[in-house]
Amino acid sequence: MSRLGALPAKVDLLVVGGGITGAGIFREAARAGVSVLLVEARDYASGTSSWSSKLVHGGLRYLKTGEWRLTAESVHERERLLREAPDLVRPLDFVMPLYRGIKPGKTTMRLGLWLYDRFSRGGARSRFLPATDASAVQPGLRAERLLGAVRYQDAYTDDCRLVWRLIDQGQRDGGRALNYVAAEQLLQARDRVCGAALRDAETGESREIEAGLVINAAGVWADTLPGQPAGAPRLRPLRGSHLLFPQARLPLPQAVGWLHPRDRRPVFAYPWQGATLLGTTDLDHREDLWSPRMQRAEADYLLEALDWLLPSAGLVLTDALSSYAGVRPVVDDGADKPSAASRESAQWASPGFIGVTGGKLTTFRVTARQALRAAAQQLPALRLAADSAPLFDRPAQESPGETPDLAQIRARVGEQVFHLDDLLLRRSRAGLVLPEAAEALIEPTLAACQTQLGWDAERCAAEAGRYRDYWRRQHDPRGLA
């Protein structure tokens, strides 16, 4: 039977969007006493949630803009994820060098980090390092006017694996999730949203499904869902771009954060999955939302920042393993500069419908529960678990710090994989962190797909071509214009 044909005629809740927010809503709803279906037009996390900075952080910079509640909330969620998913979310030590005559100064940073520590309720984790200690902890720092550094702690993850874990947990609790299935049109009857017309992108099959309530969690695409009621906020899509380097070319014992010498925006670099990640930019994105691409000016901007802080590194763009860019679903609050725009979420509602967008990776659970509390007003059978209930109920089996290998990839072939790029760019991140787009793993990966998914030789050849073409267009740093 087809995937759409196997669905019931009606579900209590239909979630549109398989990024971190939709996955969080799906996971919480699946244990809330209602039938729930999640649909994602492409692959899970293939939009914003696969191309984030991978940081689970409190947002130290939000203290500067007076967003204390957001900072406190983010720190609380960071600590919760560290406790509940220690395999997927891991502590990350940061060093932030300070320089004489350049803001922020020592007093400002120590005060900000004192507040940061208080929000975490975990005792003092930050401290000041004098210049000699800072240079010992992070070799190669610019020595001129080096005052010292502050050391503090945040966390990191693999954003795609976090999304998949939420979806997998929701399915274990009775929910249904389908990737490569688009909600092409919302259905309305008697001035109420009552379902959606769905289309399977892999087979072309279409059908309608009734729903007691539809939640639009499509992120940066939230204002484009056909047939939805009015009320969606105006979005300001912001592009964040990153470079990944071999660790041998940019060895870092921990994360380093600093302010760009040109415009004082935060930038960072840290070890991730056997590579070193450098990011990020924050620019208005006016191109195609589905195909964000790092621009050469962004790469130059990041390399300029790196050259200023670690002048002996001597990195150039051709040293990079890959590049990637994602578009953040930021609600337009009229801020002059992109980096000043708030990362708060937004929500709107009408009969049979809830919309949610904005927010950030770290606070996805808060955003999801806010949406479901609004949904419960229309679906009385929806009974949210206690806020203290853990997100996951199975043992840890992940590691966001490991370099991807063939055994890892083979183990993930069955995770609703439809294309080779699903495996090499999302179920694993091999195509980002291994040399030459993980070319050495393509043929053995396809052999696993032949065995486990039944792909024939023609399908394997097509998938290899699709993957290589996509990687060249989206991730090849040598092709940046």
Longest CA span, the chain: 71
Which of 417, 379, 441, 407 is closest to 28 using CA atoms?
379
Could you tell me if 190 and 197 are in contact, meaning their C-beta atoms sit under 8 angstroms apart? no
Residue 124, amino acid: A
Angstrom CA distances, 319 to 16, 81, 247, 322, stand at 39, 34, 11, 9
User: Which residue, chain included where needed, has tokens 């204390």?
Assistant: 68
Give per-10-residue mean pLDDT for the chain (481 aa). Answer: 95 98 98 97 97 90 73 91 94 96 87 82 81 97 96 96 97 97 97 97 98 98 94 94 97 97 95 97 93 96 98 96 96 83 90 96 97 97 96 78 92 97 98 98 98 98 98 95 60
3 state SS of 20: helix
Angstrom CA distances, 342 to 73, 103, 223, 428, stand at 14, 22, 18, 31
Q: At what angle do helices 20-30 and 159-172 cross, to 10 degrees?
A: 20
264/456 Cα distance (integer angstroms): 53
Question: b/e for 315-341, b at 16 or more Cβ within 10 A?
Answer: beeeebbbbbbbbbbbbeeeeeebbeb
Which of 15, 34, 50, 66 is closest to 340 using CA atoms?
66
Q: Are strands 127-130 and 266-272 parallel, antiparallel or unpaired?
A: unpaired
Give pTM, 2 decimals: 0.96
Could you tell me if 56 and 76 are in contact, meaning their C-beta atoms sit under 8 angstroms apart? no
- Rg of the chain, C-alpha, whole Å: 22
Q: What is the CATH number of domain 89-155+236-339?
A: 3.30.9.10
Residues 6 or more apart in contact with residue 202 via CB below 8 angstroms: 180, 418
Residues 6 or more apart in contact with residue 107 via CB below 8 angstroms: none
189 by Cβ neighbours in 10 Å (0-12 / 13-18 / 19+) ranks as exposed
User: Which residue, chain included where needed, has tokens 């023609």?
Assistant: 458
391/393 Cα distance (integer angstroms): 7
Instruction: Kindly list the domain boundaries of the chain, sorted by start residue.
Output: 10-49+160-234+341-376, 89-155+236-339, 406-479
Residue 317, phi then psi, degrees to nearest 5: -60, -35
Q: State the number of CA atoms in the 13 A half-sphere of 445 facing the CB.
A: 29
Could you tell me if 54 and 40 are in contact, meaning their C-beta atoms sit under 8 angstroms apart? no
Which of 430, 86, 419 is closest to 274 using CA atoms?
430
Residue 312, amino acid: S
329/357 Cα distance (integer angstroms): 7
pLDDT number for residue 445: 98
pLDDT number for residue 481: 60
Residue 193 pairs in a beta bridge with: 188
Residues 6 or more apart in contact with residue 388 via CB below 8 angstroms: none
3 state SS of 97: strand
pLDDT number for residue 108: 87
Structure tokens belonging to residue 330: 């930021």
Count each helix (H run) and each strand (E run) in the chain, helices first. Answer: 12, 18
97/105 Cα distance (integer angstroms): 10
User: Which residue, chain included where needed, has tokens 């039938």?
Assistant: 35
Residues 6 or more apart in contact with residue 334 via CB below 8 angstroms: none
Q: Are strands 235-246 and 206-216 parallel, antiparallel or unpaired?
A: unpaired
Domain 10-49+160-234+341-376 belongs to what topology? FAD/NAD(P)-binding domain (3.50.50)
Q: At what angle do helices 106-120 and 68-84 cross, to 10 degrees?
A: 50
